[in-house]
Amino acid sequence: MIDLRGKRALVTGASRGIGKSCALRLAELGADVAINFLSSADEAAEVVRAIHGLGRRSFAVRADVAQRDDAVAMIQAVEERFEGIDIVVSNVAAGGFRPASDLTPASFESTIRTNSAAVLWLVQAAADSLAKSSYQGKVIAVSSHGSMWAVPNYAAIGASKAALESLIRHLALEYGPRGINFNCVLPGIVATDAVATMPDVDNILKAAHARMMLGERTLTANDVSDVVAFLASPLSDLIQGQTLVVDGGVSIRV
């Protein structure tokens, strides 16, 4: 049984989808959880209430993690409310589904800032607190299939997620000696609000399900959050700088 009692966590993009599932799972296992959101204030408040119902501390904090000043201020707010921070889950993601030929400098750079650079700003701000964790500080980033495989209309997001995974490895190298653990979770296609905006999403979901090796079972946000919880626990202390794929075997088929 994973026990996160006494741990203090921040989950970005936690008002819905995978981020919400991660926040609730960490709270179920005993952690106090700060809920980051940018525009979904009502949904974030619902997650906070659910965590309070589990007997854990929680609050919502609005921040655009692509902006370094926002990210730093958010970490400071969490440290003040929780008197430290032990776990950071970087789940927030941005970027429209469009062909590479249609990308503009502004849209591409915005996607990179949100999906990749945000982790750097969070780690720079939280490193001292993470290093003081009673076990190891934990940083878990959520990647996607597009980091390794070509996905239609996914050039900006895929490139940003590949950069994210590389950044996590380099952060592990630099901050690992301070007792901070860095890893990525790479989920397959999960039917979230974000995925619903993908072109031809119904056929994409059907194709992914056909390639899974779990019979009739489909991949859910809870499958992803269970792996995040494992990586947030002492059970994963010797897993460092890795990307764990959670897709039911979709990606191993030729």
Q: Which residues are catalytic?
A: 154, 161
Q: Which two tokens stand for residue 54?
A: 């589990």
Query: Cβ(132)–Cβ(177) under 8 Å?
Result: no
